Chains A and B, each alone.
Chain A
Amino acid sequence: MEEKIKELGLSEEELFAPVDHSLAESEKITAPRYSYWKSVFRVFFRNKVNIVILGLLVFMILFAYIYPTLVEYDPYANLLDPNSKHLSPSAAMAYFGRNIHWILGAGASGEPTFDAIWNGSRISISLAIICGAINMTVGVLVGAVWGFSKKVDAFMMEVYNIVGNVPTILIISVLAMLFSPTFWTMVFALTVVGWIGIAYFIRTQVIIIRDREYNLASRCLGTSTVKIAMKNILPFMTSVIVTLLATEIPSYISYEVFLAYIGMGMSDMSLGRLIYAAEGAMVTPGWEFEFWSPVAIASVITVVLYVVGQNLGDASDPRTHM
């Protein structure tokens, strides 16, 4: 043993020097700093599939917003040309020349289907994001209050029971007839009662967490309700809210498609309107592209949004951060 110490070539003092003891230093935790959102993204990007899908989503959104501003799209430009209507991709390219506009053929009034679907995607994505933002904000805020206060709960349950039984289609069609069926009317119609479902969902979640033991303890220690809401409950809700957002945003695109199909959509040529307008083309040989391309693009957008949202929701659950 002593030989080994001698081998180190150190003096006796150096080997056993007392270390300064600092009280402040001992309080510090040596574990790496934990940042919630950094961990969320670390977990999210750990899965390579997520990177691919997020890339696809970003590409689609950027394309939907940038492409229509770069090309001039006039759906009625070829209206008077009888040879330009309902062309298959190959026929359209033979007729108009080889460029990107015609790779999906031409529609009922000779418009390039490719331009039409991206224009439609832009409208549909905007609608979904705006409605999602409004409904989620109002829904989460109202839901939090709803879950916390027993008086508000009794009142809001009545409202929910009544409003929930008024058919949404009726409200939307009444509003669409009251005002003209523009983009903003549609936003109004989808948000005027849309928030209540989200608020109800949040209310249930708040009630589940509200009465947990740690909140009871916190209340006994004298924490204010606002602080309990912000510090104890909100962090728990983040993953729930993100997961909900993931189902909500695509659902507006789907719902818009549905409304357009039953003839209650908006006047703008959104994806839903394109599908509605091209329904007859589905069964006509050679015209299928007109119908299936907006259907396909709507499906791809909604699936990508949903997958990204779900995985982000999973990643925002702190239990996965280990």
Chain B
Amino acid sequence: MNSFMVKVNRFIEVFIEQGGYNEVLTGLKNTLLIAVTGLIIGIVIGTLIATVRVLPKYKLISRILDKICTFYVALFRGTPMVVQLLVFYYVMLPLICVKMTSVSVAIAVFGLNSGAYISEIMRAGILSVDPGQMEGGRSVGMSYGATMMKIVIPQAIKNILPTLGNEFITLVKETSVVSFVGATDLYVAFNYIGSNSYEFMVPYLVMALIYIVIVCLISLGIKLMERRLRKGDRK
């Protein structure tokens, strides 16, 4: 126990006196920024893809769009996130001669990747809504798109909120791979503290605790949102 206290003291020394908390704050900021922005981009892409995939297929254009979306989903679900990050950063960007910070690359890849997963979640959500809702909207003269946006998708989101929460939590935790392209996240920050104090036990323990706290907060937020969205349901 005594040696553990020594390690804690050593951690506190590096964390506070040598400015380790700056690294941790940057890491925390990046982790949340990448996860939240990635989720938002993912929801937008996922909703678009899901809408295309549930379109009636009697028009050529919707069949073509469907094929494109199927390919996209296959591509992004078929490769690991790390590989996508590396390919994007070290292959795509040099090829098209564009400079991006590693955090923006991470945001883009997380958005594109989660878009593929969320599209399937959203598709299930849309299919879970009673087809009568679409008919009701169409019968009063609203277009397919308007009925989808105002009636079907809000109800779909309510139904998939727990699964969407899962996806968000996964994203938060997956940010620990962005160090592959040189972005500072929580892992990099605590690794830095560990290297400077020659002692990894406490930093990694604190890192794990921070992840747990973030995830608990997210779960709580989702629970509150769900309660709000369920106000239209049978009591």
Q: Do A and B bind each other?
A: no
- A residues within 8 Å of B by Cβ? none
